[in-house]
Amino acid sequence: MATRAATKGMNRSAQLEDCSCRPWRGSMEELGYLAVSGEHITLQRRLHSASCREFSVRSPRLQLRLLSAATCSVWLVAYGLFVLSENSMVLSAAIFITIISLITYLHFVKIDQESLLVIGSLGIQMTSFYASGKESTTFIEMGQVKDVVINEAIYMVNAALSHFCFTVLM
């Protein structure tokens, strides 16, 4: 791995080629980790070509058991309020709020997979795949990237997870 001083004079594509992401065994490597919450997550590293690499993190799909428990809890509380108040609007509101909350959670919060595609001479594409099927993609041209900072954070039980921060010229 090249040091910061050694890479200072290199151009951006040469720095990407010389980074610690050198080609690994085969074209794809998959590693399993255990998140702090106890969920199993997987990191996939793919080498598409010498200047094109992809990193993907997958979390488990939404568990039906957890969803059922949350729904039953909300509906039991609503039924208790219905018995006390004898107002059927409480049950209707609970059903409506549960459905809207579930749709909102699946479409805006629950991410099944995130990927980072680095194309040496072109740019960086970040994609998030939500549980509802929605995809959110952001592309940063390589000319706009001033520097890449890899910030290691301990989020895993067995390993350190690296976060990428991009300094973008505006």
| Domain range summary for the chain, segments of one domain joined by + | 4-62+113-168, 64-107
34-37: long-range contacts, CB 8 A cutoff, minimum separation 24: 34/156, 34/157, 34/158, 35/59, 35/155, 35/156, 35/157, 36/155, 36/156, 36/157
**pLDDT of the residue at 159:** 42
The one-letter amino acid at 95: I
Over residues 133-152, mean pLDDT: 81
Q: Say which range, 14-28, 99-113, 141-155, has the weakest mean pLDDT.
A: 14-28
CA distance linking residue 150 with residue 97, whole number of Å = 41
State pLDDT tens for residues 2-29: 333 333 444 444 433 444 444 443 477 8
Band the pLDDT of 110: cuts 50, 70, 90: confident
Residue 163 has pLDDT above 60, yes or no: no
Residue 147 has pLDDT above 70, yes or no: yes
